[in-house]
Structure 1
Amino acid sequence: MDYDINKKKAGQPLVSFVIFFEDDDAGKLQKCVDSVLRLSLRQEEREVFVIGDGTREPLVLLLNGSEDEVVVVRQPSSGINSAMNLGMRMATGRYVQFLSAADTLLLDGYGHCLDMMRYEKPEIIVFDSSRDEKQRTSYEDGKMESGTEFMRHNTINPSPAGYAFRKNLTEGMTFDTANESSDEEFTVLLFLKAEKVLPTTAVARFKGKDRQTADGDDKKTVIKKLDDQYAMICRLHDMAYAMPVDDRLAIERRVAQMTMSYILAVVKDLRSAKQLRTRIEQLEEKGLFPLPDKRYNKKYTIFSKLVKRKLVRDLALKLLE
């Protein structure tokens, strides 16, 4: 489909779908696009962008018969954050839905989310994602509340692909293309801006592979990812001090859980007692360790108690080695 970024549409689409694509997802792209096109949306209610990051072959060759339904864009290899920035600039829908080409949307679950967009009009819809494509036939919706209140009492999905959100919430916001962890920061800031968040237990997305550390990544790449994660945690930690009390408490919960994930990644991906000691010391200097003694969820409660003990940390490394 031809696309002119300056061309005004006759009516505003309900949802803009932004699909990130790399060559290793070539076999999954068509299934992802088909899952979007099957939804209960008229053509004028949706727009679909497929953004190929450093792709070698023309994407239209992978879209069997659906190339007229989507806007295909290729960018030099710049990463997912650059692609999502591009997608947000192009999107004109009331809501934005990010997807990886390895994801698929589930007809019943996401159909329920579309009904929520049409009738409840929240700023963020929190839906369930699963690695099992089995549809959930019954589900419940929670109460509408602010993003701050929701973050204070719930563990949020760090990926913006776990939500449908209002495009106008993103005004003034971009993903940091120099920091691979900025999608988690983006999600936190999105929730802080939202006054109407509506959760549902409907499973709306079949989740493809996580874009975490790959087995083939060299040590330099792994360290860069961990450094990005640490820098993002520190920014949010510093930001919390200037926030109103409720916002600060919401950020503190999220920072504590991100710090837990960071420590686990250091142990799993580096498998180095020296690196673990050094990074624990950095966290201590920043006031991020020991982890707060809070009952945020079962995993966090157990981990925060165990990780305080040096003997446990050393044993974990020995087992991994």
Structure 2
Amino acid sequence: MSQSNATGSPNPSTFILLGIPGLEAVHVWISIPFTVMYAIAFLGNFIIMFIVKMEQSLHGPMYYFLCMLAATDLVLCTSIVPKMLSIFWFNDREINFNACLTQMFFIHCFTAVESGIFVTMALDRYVAICNPLRHSTILTTPIVIKIGLAMLLRGGLITLPCPLLARQWPYCRTNVILHTGCEHTAVVKLACADIRISSYYGLFAAVLQMGLDIFSIAVSYTLIIRAIISLPTKDARLKTFGTCGSHLCAILAFYIPCFFSVLTYRFGQNMALYFHILFPNVCILLPPMLNPIIYGVRTKQIRDRLLHFFTHKGT
């Protein structure tokens, strides 16, 4: 296996993904939990979209946003897991330079899109609780579609400079990436150039986007809690707040791993290299796996339709 760019050209024709250095002997065993997580994520999110599509009563803003979340989760985990498993199972470590940059774009773009969708779902809960009589007129189907497209466009525009900048750097020292995928930082640090623009932009984009999204969600829930507190009875308050339970659980499942991933990257220099590779992969796969479970268990309409489907199939 070549450890450097044999052509001497500014950009290598391929990168070599090492997987998890130091744990090559157990790659097959490591693949098992990732395969299970991916299977649950793929099947669960597909079922969510199928149920919403087939059930007319679920054709509303909340469930449209849920379908957007499920589709985003499918793209996000599919952008990295198949290549990861090909490394673990078949030692297929080569990836084309352009394919690597494409994978980088999809990973970071759809992470940003998912964060944006959580903001739109918080907006939906705010309108439903604080302005329930106007909910159907404010969040019409065309408006929901436009919001979803806006989140997709925002994620693309925020992320696009990362692969474009990475493409400009010369990679004359090595083409070996110490990772299972083309994560932005893992790629650009291989460049034999001053990559501060890439590093600063990547950090700026992540902090700005995540910071604004978390702030927007916090403002929405502050207003929601104020509205809930003003309700006359305890039962009404609990029932209303219960409609936010699934969304809050999904938010925690997404942002807490992201937060710890940033902390370990910035302050975990003494941690083993394999931890810095495994933990971000888990952070990418965990929300797509948990989201359909959270919404399937906590959302009565989806749970009822799922139970009806399986009991009907069994009769």
Instruction: Compute the TM-score of the two structures, normalised by the length of structure 1.
Output: 0.26
* Structure index of larger Rg: 2
**Greater strand proportion:** 1
Between Structure 1 and Structure 2, which shows a larger proportion of helix residues? 2
